[in-house]
Structure 1
Amino acid sequence: MYNSAGGLDGCEILKLHDADPFFGVEVKFVDVVSCQQFLESYSSGAVRQSISQHACRLLALAQEFTVETQLKAGTHILDRCLDKLELCLQQIHQSPPGRLRDEEIDRLEERLRREVLGAPPPQQLIQQVPSNCFRFQNKVFEDRMLTAADVQSFANGVGRQWKHVGRTLGRECRALKDTAIDNLAYEYAREGLYEQAYQLLSRFIQAEGRAAKLSRLVRALEDCKLTGLAESILDIQPRE
């Protein structure tokens, strides 16, 4: 998978789905180039061949066996349009992954790295995360409810990206669908970006109640490439 996607930095595994006899892997690509490289490898059959070869090694089989694959982006089956690269990229772009990164994946990836590099596992990666906590940048934080200070920090730092974050939160919050976000933009246009962002997160908290957790905001900021703002809200000191 990694080699087909252009190296270790090409993609991130978010979730594994085991439903015998099927096995699903949910993947998020870091950029368009990596995604395009994977599509080309998949279309040529290189991905299927690689999976078969690795499976044979793991199962200690004398010869390769046939592997059937299906590539999907949301509800779209991409196998039907692999000859139309731009269409595939468009459908992937319009179907962002909606699942949390599987904690099992962290341990699996670290185990694979140890086998390849012979390196001891970092303690924080094998640490069990309590149910009332979440992990961010290999650190564990309490998954508390959002506070007024969080709302202010968000409104001060998000700028014009507040709509993007709102739509990301809206994947799991009906109160933040596109029409609601557009209404907020119109209603508070005169007050400016700070008030629009402030009202967005306030509405999220009002709608979700106790489920308006810090982890959901941090995840949305990560998805929107606003890691610096997430670090600020979590009071993580910048690296020197």
Structure 2
Amino acid sequence: MYGNTTEGEPVDKTVDRGPWAGCAVMFLQSLCPSVNLLSLYKDQQEGKFIVFKVIKLTLTDSAGGLGGYEILKVHDADPLLGVEVKFVDVAACQQFLKSYSSGALHQSLSQHACRLFALPQELTVETQLKASTHILDRCLNDLDLCLQQIHQSQPERLRDEEIDFLEQLLQSKALCPAPQLTTSMQEESAVPNNCFRFQNRVFEDRMLSTADVQSFSNGVGRQWKNVGRALGKSCRALKGPAIDNLAYEYEREGLYEQAYQLLNRFTQAEGSAAKLSRLVKALEDCKLTNLAENILDIQPQE
């Protein structure tokens, strides 16, 4: 049960007797000199959407799902980026606080940023959490008090129109089952330019991330040469003796390192064209669909 308020009224009674709501602002600042979250969010093109997607995915992870909260505004708190969040479910707020205090939120934020910005290593982000004038980072050892202060900080605004737009854009780009169409030609034309189809599902295409490379290197085993030759059909750097040279050069380091260096050579040569779809296609060609499913995080059907 929750602790008492300063007036002596138990917080749990407030929670149980009616709709619960509260507001918190999370401030973010990247410690990586090449990634300025505030500047990226001010970018009206791709930067704003990617930063918002990182925030949305992180909150979904930390609050235990899509429900129970909504982003009201993302604003300039130079040099910080402020994210104002309204909680409408006490359980979601509790889960968020637990994730924040344990470091799970920071890890999720770093991983999503690394993947979506195609960074060579995880991004370190400094955060501060406030409810009204209360800095919650100072009392994270008392999550009941943090919950109480968030509840006392009632939202004073409706959701910003810009957030409405970004939410709609995110939904339109979200991974979703392919539409039921009558011909394969129609199915292909239904896939957006920035997506690709795998097992009748549409996935967002993107540059290979560190996590993709690690998953591939862990799972491909001795088949890495075959995958390399499949990639070599459209990558000049992997043609001719390149695969055998990699095998010889990294033979002592083992299969993981050979596979890792294969994709490293691919990404260095292809740059922004080293897309996830090309690796998935190469894995399909080599009958390694299980590995492709693992990289795409497709859960096995029961």
Query: TM-score of the superposition, structure 1-length normalised?
Result: 0.49
- Larger Rg over CA atoms: 2
Higher RCO structure, 1 or 2 (CA under 8 Å, sep 6+): 2
